[in-house]
């Protein structure tokens, strides 16, 4: 059973509950544009599973068949307990090195780009983690822990991490000494100097206390969320690739092969010394930090909400199907296309090319739905969403409601 897939509806209900609670108490932590970006990345992360990418499963299977290990008993509680604890230890080191080395940071950075902090941030996951993350869990299979147990405790570990992405839960007393909590995980997502690269555990904070990476949340230092080199975009394509692009640019501009090779293994943020000053990336001045929040017409925000609803419907439909390779790739491309096109509207972009890009997307989605969504209920839901999207888009354009409101507004990070 895919526990993550089962948990997704509960994640969405919890997000809705947190949003309503924030409004009720006068402390809303959501913005539609930021939440759109987070949810879109979460959807793509789930859709990436349809593509069956990665070599981890192949390596794990080879270990089991070639090394001749005796697997621990699946029905023994000690197997599950040891697997749960050791999985979190492996996760700690994967997570820590993903912050300390830029090749792994390139995959993990998407989770940290949000300048807000709420339950939707928990769903902001990478689609490229399959490249190297599997390496850190090899010790579990070498020890003989059954693959189905490792997969299950890994899913529970990830599900646990969902609830700690909130600003509405204060410190939790003695639990702060043992477990990852909302308070110590807020620290992990902050870019303040005293908070950077701290609190890496998934379930247990004890690893951070043991290995010197623990930092409590300070009452006199409010967390400023996001990354030091701000993304300044809602596009999932840019979110997933911008560090890889930066690394390729550094490799291209470096003067020696030694520097080019070092780019791949260097500490996060390192650039070759031979790169011109003009090509060096600038970091946030936190004393003047403002969240990225472009001012756009309300019609664009409504359209953005409508598109994330459609992307969610398409994902849920796909999860109920047995997809062939072509269908899986088509769905992933359609979802990515939806994310990029909608992000452009929410960033305040305008012009005929963007409109044509979005209309081509909607036309392609219509064809895909007609050919593949034969189920009456899902076909009707996706069809209704498509008609609503096209009608709203064309009505808004005709009424000139897509005008950018002239500039960009920002709020000081909190």
For position 358, what pLDDT does the model report? 95
Residue of 226, 271, 254, 243 lying closest to 98 (CA atoms): 243
Instruction: Say which range, 126-140, 167-181, 225-239, 381-395, has the weakest mean pLDDT.
Output: 126-140
Query: Would you state the pLDDT for residue 52?
Result: 64
Q: What residue segments make up the domains of the chain, in order of their start?
A: 3-211, 237-278, 296-398
Length reported for the chain = 414
Element (H, E) at 409: strand 408-409
pLDDT reading at 273 higher than 60: yes
Element at 261 (helix H, strand E) = helix 257-265
- Say yes or no to pLDDT of 322 above 90: no
- For residue range 146-168, list pLDDT tens digits in order: 888 998 999 999 999 999 999 99
The C-alpha atoms of residue 180 and residue 203 are separated, in whole angstroms, by 5
State what percent of residues in the chain have pLDDT above 70.
92
pLDDT at 282 over 70: yes
Rounded to two decimals, the pTM is 0.90
165 burial class (0-12, 13-18, 19+ CB within 10 angstroms)? Answer: buried
Q: CA 311, CA 302: separation in Å to the nearest integer?
A: 14
Q: Which range has the top average pLDDT, 157-171, 257-271, 312-326, 379-393?
A: 157-171
Mean pLDDT value of segment 338-347: 96
Residue of 121, 82, 345 lying closest to 227 (CA atoms): 121
Determine the pLDDT at residue 84: 97
Q: What pLDDT is attached to residue 340?
A: 97
Q: What is the pLDDT of residue 409?
A: 44
Q: What is the pLDDT of residues 163-208, one digit of tens each?
A: 999 999 999 999 999 999 999 999 999 999 999 999 999 999 999 9
53, pLDDT greater than 80: no
Mean pLDDT computed over 74-98: 95
CB burial readout 367-403, b (16+ within 10 A) else e: ebbeebbeeeebeebbeebbeebbebbeebeeeeebe
The rounded mean pLDDT for the chain is 89
Question: How far is the CA of 123 from the CAs of 90, 96, 391, 403, in angstroms?
Answer: 21, 19, 30, 31
Contact (CB, 8 A) for 117 and 189: yes
């Amino acid at each position: 059973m895919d526990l993550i897939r089962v948990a997704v509806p509960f994640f969405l209900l919890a997000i809705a509950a947190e949003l309503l609670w924030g409004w009720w108490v006068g402390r809303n932590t959501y913005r539609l544009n930021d939440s759109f970006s987070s949810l879109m990345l979460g959807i793509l992360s789930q859709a990436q599973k349809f593509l069956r990418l990665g070599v981890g499963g192949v390596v794990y299977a080879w270990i089991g068949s070639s090394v001749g290990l005796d697997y621990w008993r699946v029905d023994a509680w000690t197997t599950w307990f040891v697997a749960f604890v050791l999985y979190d230890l492996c996760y700690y080191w994967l997570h820590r090195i993903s912050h300390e080395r830029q090749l792994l940071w390139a995959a993990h950075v998407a989770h940290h780009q949000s300048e807000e902090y709420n339950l939707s941030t928990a769903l902001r996951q990478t689609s490229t983690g399959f490249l190297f993350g599997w390496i850190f869990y090899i010790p579990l299979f070498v020890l003989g822990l059954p693959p189905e147990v490792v997969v299950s405790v890994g899913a529970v570990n990830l599900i646990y991490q969902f609830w700690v992405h909130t600003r509405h839960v204060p410190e939790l007393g003695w639990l702060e000494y043992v477990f990852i909590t909302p308070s110590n995980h807020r620290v992990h997502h902050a870019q303040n100097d005293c908070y950077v690269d701290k609190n890496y555990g998934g379930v247990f904070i004890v690893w951070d206390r043991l290995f010197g990476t623990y930092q409590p949340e300070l009452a006199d230092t409010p967390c400023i969320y996001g990354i030091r080199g701000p993304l300044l975009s809602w596009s999932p394509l840019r979110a997933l690739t911008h560090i890889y692009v930066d690394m390729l640019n550094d490799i291209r501009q470096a003067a020696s092969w030694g520097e080019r090779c070092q780019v791949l293994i260097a500490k996060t943020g390192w650039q070759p010394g031979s790169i011109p000053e003009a090509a060096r990336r600038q970091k946030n001045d936190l004393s003047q930090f403002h969240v990225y929040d472009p001012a756009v017409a309300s019609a664009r925000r409504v359209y953005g909400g409508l598109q994330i609803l459609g992307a969610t419907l398409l994902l849920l439909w796909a999860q109920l199907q047995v997809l062939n390779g072509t269908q899986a790739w088509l769905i992933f491309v359609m979802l990515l296309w939806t994310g990029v096109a909608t992000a452009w509207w929410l960033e305040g972009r305008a012009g005929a090319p963007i409109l044509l890009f979005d209309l081509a997307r909607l036309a392609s989605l219509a064809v895909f739905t007609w050919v593949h969504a034969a189920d009456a209920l899902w076909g009707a839901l996706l069809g209704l969403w498509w008609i609503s999207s096209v009608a709203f888009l064309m009505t808004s354009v005709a009424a000139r409601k897509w005008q950018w409101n002239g500039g960009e507004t920002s709020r000081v990070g909190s």
